[in-house]
Amino acid sequence: MSSSLIVETSSLLSESYTFDSRPYHPLASTVKRYWIFLHGGSFHKEHWEPVIDDLLVLLTQSQNGSKANIKIREMWAIDAPTSGDSALLNEEALRWGYESFPWQEYGRSIHAFLTGRGRTHAGFNLQDPVVPNIDFSSHILVGIGHSIGAVSLVLSLDYFPSIEGLFSSGILVEPMIMNEKAARSAAAVFTANSVARRDIWPSREEAYKMLKARHTWKIWDDRTLRIYVNHGLRPLPTLEYPDIKDGLTLKCTRKLETASYRDLNGCHVAYRNMRSYVSRIRLHIVYSTVNDGIPAEAKQDIIHNATGGLQNLASVEYIEGAAHLSPQTHPRAALQVDTEMRGLKAKL
């Protein structure tokens, strides 16, 4: 029972790769060929699939009598080193030394992949055949990050060689970038929630039923919840639970999720450098109207203070009725809000 999968409805055709950036960066990453999509804390690259599905529908729909003038060559989604299939590859390396997991590590993974500092394997295994690295130098990229993924996107701009010239724009969905007071408060809430999170289920079917009955997950788009159960869980035993032989647990362990929320440096660096980031690439911010993850005043502080003013942002949008997990609950709205304002006319 525990190995069977919950039926998903996505029609996406995707290719899976493992990018081994060692020794330049000590942690490997798994990627799928989409856009440059970066997920939030404790989630994984596949969480973007409903957003991508809906984006493709949106792009084929008529706008003022003609199709949207947006050309997309490829889409890529990158796992954080602690999440999804990357967490399995890095399981041994992550066992100690990461009591607080720096968000810069995700930024370094993004940078290493886009600059080809490592080896690309065709599949989710380091024993899979090595294939040529992707040359992104001739591509015009749009980066899309949610929550910690949004922070990691801008942090990736801080490494050498510079990758800012690759991006035509970046879209930050509910970015966890805020001042010290708000950051400490948010970290305390997220940490307490992750420590108390259930992380063992008897089967995927039971996990789906249990999560579907809880308010937090009940409001998710059902496609996203099914993806979470299929791609976010792994069979037991694991290094974290060596003595439990049956059932499933999280790929991104409670310990690693909590470690990512303990890191305040990534948030601090991104907040301090926002004026620099908005001067280097066009940045769009997509906030939600429900302020459960980021206080309303912290959002206004980013827009009017940290960035140097609204005029320095390409656009600011709000998803009505959504909270911090807008890609999970409102996947279409996460990219549909005034799409043309974002200047997404890019060949990716």
- H runs (alpha helix) in 156-219: 180-195, 204-212, 215-218
Q: Residue 84: in which H helix or E strand, if any?
A: helix 84-89
Q: What is the pLDDT of residue 72?
A: 76
Higher pLDDT, 336 or 211: 211
Report how many domains make up the chain: 1
> Would you state the structure tokens that stand for residue 308, as one six-digit string?
């140097």
The verdict on residue 176 lying in a domain is yes
The verdict on residue 241 lying in a domain is no
pLDDT tens digit string along 111-135? 999 999 999 998 888 899 999 998 9
pLDDT tens digit string along 287-297? 999 999 999 99
Q: Which domain holds residue 319?
A: 16-193+265-342
pLDDT tens digit string along 191-238? 999 999 999 999 999 999 999 999 999 999 999 999 999 999 999 999
Q: What is the pLDDT of residue 33?
A: 39
**φ and ψ of 150, to 5 deg:** -65, -40
Q: What is the pLDDT of residue 194?
A: 94
pLDDT tens digit string along 147-174? 999 999 999 999 999 999 999 899 999 9
> Would you state the structure tokens that stand for residue 311, as one six-digit string?
């005029």
**In whole numbers, what is the pLDDT of the chain averaged over residues?**
87
The verdict on residue 226 lying in a domain is no
The verdict on residue 234 lying in a domain is no
- 15 contacts: CB under 8 Å, gap ≥ 6: 32, 33, 122
How many angstroms separate the CA atoms of 284 and 263, rounded?
Answer: 24
pLDDT at 339 over 70: no
Pick from 52, 46, 53: nearest CA to 32:
46
How many angstroms separate the CA atoms of 267 and 260, rounded?
Answer: 11
- What is the reported pTM? 0.88
The verdict on residue 240 lying in a domain is no
Q: What is the pLDDT of residue 283?
A: 95
Residues 60 and 276: beta-carbon distance below 8 Å: no
The verdict on residue 125 lying in a domain is yes
| Confidence grade of residue 69 (pLDDT, cut at 50, 70, 90) | low
Pick from 176, 138, 139: nearest CA to 261:
176
Q: For residue 313, what is the domain's CATH number?
A: 3.40.50.1820
How many angstroms separate the CA atoms of 238 and 228, rounded?
Answer: 19
| Confidence grade of residue 332 (pLDDT, cut at 50, 70, 90) | confident
The verdict on residue 272 lying in a domain is yes
Q: Which of 15-29, 45-59, 108-122 has the lowest mean pLDDT?
A: 15-29
Length of the chain (residues):
348
How many angstroms separate the CA atoms of 324 and 347, rounded?
Answer: 29
Q: In what order do the strands lie in the sheet with 16-20?
A: 130-131, 119-121, 16-20, 29-32, 76-78, 36-38, 141-146, 167-173, 282-288, 315-319
Q: What is the pLDDT of residue 40?
A: 66
The verdict on residue 117 lying in a domain is yes
